[in-house]
Structure 1
């Protein structure tokens, strides 16, 4: 039997990159998947490619009404939601002195507030389903320091994971965070960053960056019943970087 047979999942930021890899893996394992993203063209095309068990809903993850719409569309198409993967996020590589208040608020809204809204929005649907699992994609920079804004919000994702796990455990809803290191997504391996990424990979104990599918395998485990006694925990996939 497929590992996600009978599951209904929402995956944010899934028109491309890591989110798309998660969605593809979920479909292969029997889930029905709601893809969300701001990129409507790519999202619709990818949903069509995945077939009848996928739909796309355009979403601004920092907007509460958009979240209500996504959950409603998921229930209408497939039934109550069992799985949420809070994957959408942005990076920002500016110094503290060069970061405007507007820059800072934008990354907080997309990386942090969206996770709060996602969790809040799916609880009722997961209660209808009788159980649920929420996977929050944080980062290695949710464990160690990095750029201001990005690091702050990824630590916050780690914190809300623990708070929500404690509150939602009696409702049979599990909440865990995933902390990837450097992943070979299109954004990371584009021509203007390729040389820097190759140089950085030499510092990784395993000597390479990860493929998106290597993160997806971990997300799949947390979405499945195989992780039924794991909640409020941090799962690291960084090639050994945090072991230094």
Structure 2
């Protein structure tokens, strides 16, 4: 008797029907977009932002719950996860999009700048991961948004990049520790993304200059980043953990070279 092979339902691996997810930094840009993506795949969401109005607005769009807190504090993270558990029951996944750059040379960073940058990128991630063991007893995906600045030096972003590099390492370590409990921990490393905040900060000429440095010829959109976050949050990535995934249009494999004019004697090597 021939045994019939089981055919994998690949589209079904994106089905998150009924799974409770917490999205930290859900109120705008990438956070709002991944909230839409998760909801479209059936997830039940608890949307978190430091600004209550933003959290409420995206929760209304995706039919979820919301909370407002400063998650750079241990108290804020504890409050968020307790509220999420009360609304969702068992939490099955977390997406953390929090992280803003304070762009200055090292010499201009004072102590307050440094503490703020570490707090908003690294400290809150540590508090979040510390909560995971008790908040996600059934395991599941935990995905952070890091930065290409954590993988390579970017002018005036050394402290930001250092905090992101530390986040990347924290994720790798947490993946090793939490893997036996069924928790997958990953981080993506985007380059420039056309979020509402950056679209306000940079003018057209600056975006043109950025686009020219990207091998694919353009910066990313929030939707493109959300698609990768959705993949890592789904059963499509059921065996992916401890990964720092560049999502940068090829920036990580390219180098900015000087504009050199070679003489005839150099042209053949």
TM-score when scaled to structure 2? 0.86
Shift in Å at residue 194 of structure 1? 3.6
2:82 corresponds, among 72, 78, 86, to 72
Shift in Å at residue 191 of structure 1? 6.1
Q: Secondary structure at the match of 2:107?
A: coil
Which residues in structure 2 correspond to 1:18-167 (within 5 Å)?
A: 18-51=30-63, 54-127=64-137, 130-146=138-154, 147-167=157-177
Large movers: runs of 4+ above 2 Å: 191-195
C-alpha distance after superposition, 1:18-70 (max 9, x if no partner): 1111111111110011111111112212211222xx11100111111111111
The answer to whether the aligner puts 1:209 opposite 2:226 as a matched pair is: no
Task: Kindly tell me the number of residue pairs found equivalent between the two proteins.
Answer: 240
Q: Is the contact between residue 77 and residue 124 of structure 2 (CA under 8 Å) also seen in structure 1?
A: no
Shift in Å at residue 148 of structure 1? 1.9
CA distance in 1, matches of 2:35, 2:151: 26
Structure having the higher Rg: 2
> What's the counterpart of residue 8 of structure 1?
20
CA distance in 2, matches of 1:192, 1:217: 24
> What's the counterpart of residue 203 of structure 2?
193
5+ long unaligned stretches in structure 1? none
C-alpha distance after superposition, 1:175-198 (max 9, x if no partner): 111011111101111265342122
